[in-house]
Chain A
Amino acid sequence: MEFTGLFFYLVSLLILGGIYALLCLALNIQWGMGGLFNAGIAGFFGVGAYTSAILTTAASGKHLGGFSMPVPIGLVGAAVVAGLTGWAVAKICVRLKSDYLAMASIGIAEILRLVIVNESWLTNGSLGMSRIPRPLADLTTGRMADVVFLGFVWLIVLLVFLASSRLYDSPWGRSLRAIRDNEASASAAGKDVEKFRIQTFVIGCAVMGIAGGLSAHYFRFLSPTATDPLLVTFLVWVMLMAGGSGNNKGAILGALAIWTIWSATEIFTNRLPPEWATRSSFIRMLLVGLLLQVVLQRFRSGLIPEKSPPVRFEEEEPERLKH
């Protein structure tokens, strides 16, 4: 009894850990590789969650939907709509310097949240959407469904990890980091800075959208509280800083480490006397806020620091240099 309880606790921990790992990989593309300060993660997460939910739920008179599409199509839709939103945002804001980009992206995330809360025809407002299907639901029943979903989430994490590692090692990734580190010289070397930044922003937002979609399918219920900017945006930032920004493995490790700490503090705070238990989430928030300060001051490069890949010259390159 005790063991199965622990097992399913671990499963749910890893499912949400995987969703956060996706967000962290996405932020790593934007911030770690591109140096773009996106403080509106929650907004793109929310857009993805609602898109996937609308595409996959059965008809309902309460909100837009009733397309009953398979979950993978919902997730592709989530990526596309979140990516398009990101494109619109990037088109307007990508030239802004970091502090200003942070303000603009928070502002846009808040506007998206206002739309989600107020446009009931689209999202059913604060009442939220229910009966969102899970992928591969026919395979199993009961609690084993969580295990299947766990595999589904981590398969996507693996795919995104491979893709972003590929991007990191590619000429595209090298150019992007060159722009991040020295915009003027990259621009002088003929790189279209703005184009690279827009591409980076869109790719990151699309992945954030997928993460949002997965969370909607996991909880099977979606309401505006899911897009609470604090928890989503802030935790992902702490995860990336702790894991090591600029490193994809670090992003995943940071997501798992911080998510485990976050969840473990729940076990701890549940043992508090009842008058304190209601305030436990605030204690956790406080601890995470302080943890970020420690990371920033003492372990700035995170658990796995960025390691720029060696530049690979083509075979004939050394020959040519001899002449």
Chain B
Amino acid sequence: MSEFVNFYLFPALTIGSIYALGAVGISMIFGILRFAHFAHGDLMTVGTYGVLAAAALMPVNPLLLIPFGMALTIFSALFVDRFFYRPLRALPTIYTVIASFGIALVFRSLIQLIWGAENQIFSTGVRPPLVLFDTFRVSVLHLQAIVATAIIAVLLHFFLTATKTGRSMRAVADDPELAEVSGLDTAKVVRWTWIIGAALAAVAGTFAALNTSAHPNLGWNLLLPMFAAAILGGIGKPMGAMAGGFIIGMAEELSSYHWIGDSALISPSYKTAVAFVIMIVLLIFRPQGLFKGRLL
């Protein structure tokens, strides 16, 4: 029991938090700008390296430096939207998808150019795990990621339901034509979509890097599970994307638990394939997701 909780449940919740935070941006961009943003994973990497750069200058806990990563991702996202995605807005969205493919590569090559291709680790030192109820030993980082995601989920929910901007965003995601007719400021909605998506991407990337290490492919490797989470939660439904992230994270990690007998249910080397398979099955049988998202 404690083995299950220590080595499977908490890591699963952590990776789920990372997917959840990344998937919110993907889901909102898909819902509001109507295209699959293939550079979202690399936006996460940009945020991670922003935090890493700040950490090289200031020897404090990297979590306190996340705002620097957020600032860098928000700037990058708004810049890319202005100069590379907006000129293609009038065309079929597939051109923007192809452009985002290229932007993913631009982000990655810039990171490799500036910081190099090697793995980089945050120097946080070894911290003893927390012992809960005398039986469970939980890494502090895992707990931080899970708690931070829970707080962000509450704040995001508040923003989307209680503020005017948040409500306009939901309106555009639900029915863009109606929202346009009602005279909502679409430019503002688009701007806030990028700001929120990018800021959460920076948080997700930093937790992912703290969990393992920072490397230029960090975000790209997380991209497909995050797409799966966004689809599972229903495109354009940020809270659905959060739930989807946790479900995908759990499915991935718990698939290699020895549920039957002594050996892993699925070899851990195929762990990531679990998310891809869920995504493909979803696309075929339930593309609207669990929470009745839009079907684009």
Which one of B97, B99, B105, B112 lies within 8 Å of A234 (CB-CB)? B105
Of A16-24, A57-65, A211-219, A287-295, the stretch lying at the interface with chain B is A287-295
**Interface residues in B75-127 (C-beta closer than 8 Å to A):** 84, 87-88, 91, 93-95, 97-99, 101-103, 105-106, 108-110, 112-113, 116-117
Residues of A within 8 A of B93 (CB): 99
Question: Scoring A residues 277 to 296 as 1 if CB is less than 8 Å from chain B, else 0, what string do you get?
Answer: 00100110110111011001
In the bound complex, how far is the Cα of B216 from the Cα of A231, in angstroms?
15
Distance from A268 Cβ to chain B, minimum over Cβ atoms (Å) = 15
Task: Give the bracket for the number of chain A residues in contact with chain B.
Answer: 35 or more
Q: Is the CB of B99 within 8 A of A296?
A: yes
Cβ contact of A107, chosen from B87, B97, B117, B279, cutoff 8 A? B279
Cβ contact within 8 Å between A293 and B267: no
Flag if A286 contacts B109 (CB, 8 Å).
Answer: yes
Complex: chain A residue closest to B91, CB-CB: A300
Q: How many pairs of residues, A versus B, come closer than 8 Å at their CB atoms?
A: 114
Size range of the interface on B?
Answer: 35 or more
Tell whether, in the assembled complex, residue A110 and residue B95 are in contact, meaning their CB atoms are under 8 Å apart: no
A95–B91 alpha-carbon span in the complex (Å): 22
B4 on the A face (CB < 8 A): no
Instruction: Please state if A96 and B36 are interface contacts (CB–CB under 8 Å).
Output: no
Instruction: Please name all residues of chain B whose beta carbon is closer than 8 Å to the beta carbon of A118 when the two chains form the complex.
Output: 267, 269-270
Does chain B have a CB within 8 A of A160? no
Contact present for B108 and A285 (CB under 8 Å): yes
**What's the nearest-Cβ distance from chain B to residue A153, in Å?**
27
Residues in A neighbouring B84, C-beta threshold 8 A: 293, 297
The answer to whether the Cβ of A13 comes within 8 Å of any Cβ in the partner chain is no
B155 within 8 A of A: no
Closest chain A CB from B74 CB (angstroms) = 20
Residue B296 at the chain A interface, CB threshold 8 Å: yes
In the docked arrangement, what's the CA distance between A100 and B109, Å? Answer: 26
Chain B 1-36 near chain A by CB (<8 Å), digits 1 or 0: 000000000000000000000000000001000011
Residue on A with the closest CB to B227? Answer: A103
Instruction: Tell me which of A93, A237, A290 contacts B283 (CB under 8 A).
Output: A93
Q: List 15 A-B contacts (CB under 8 A).
A: A98-B94, A99-B94, A106-B224, A107-B277, A230-B105, A237-B101, A279-B116, A283-B109, A285-B105, A285-B112, A288-B102, A290-B102, A293-B103, A296-B102, A297-B84
List residues of chain B with CB under 8 Å of any chain A CB: 30, 35-36, 38, 84, 87-88, 91, 93-95, 97-99, 101-103, 105-106, 108-110, 112-113, 116-117, 224, 227, 267, 269-270, 272-273, 276-277, 279-280, 283-284, 287, 296
- Interface residues of chain A, those whose CB is within 8 Å of chain B, are 37, 39, 92-93, 95-100, 102-104, 106-108, 110-111, 114, 117-118, 230, 234, 237-238, 241, 279, 282-283, 285-286, 288-290, 292-293, 296-297, 300
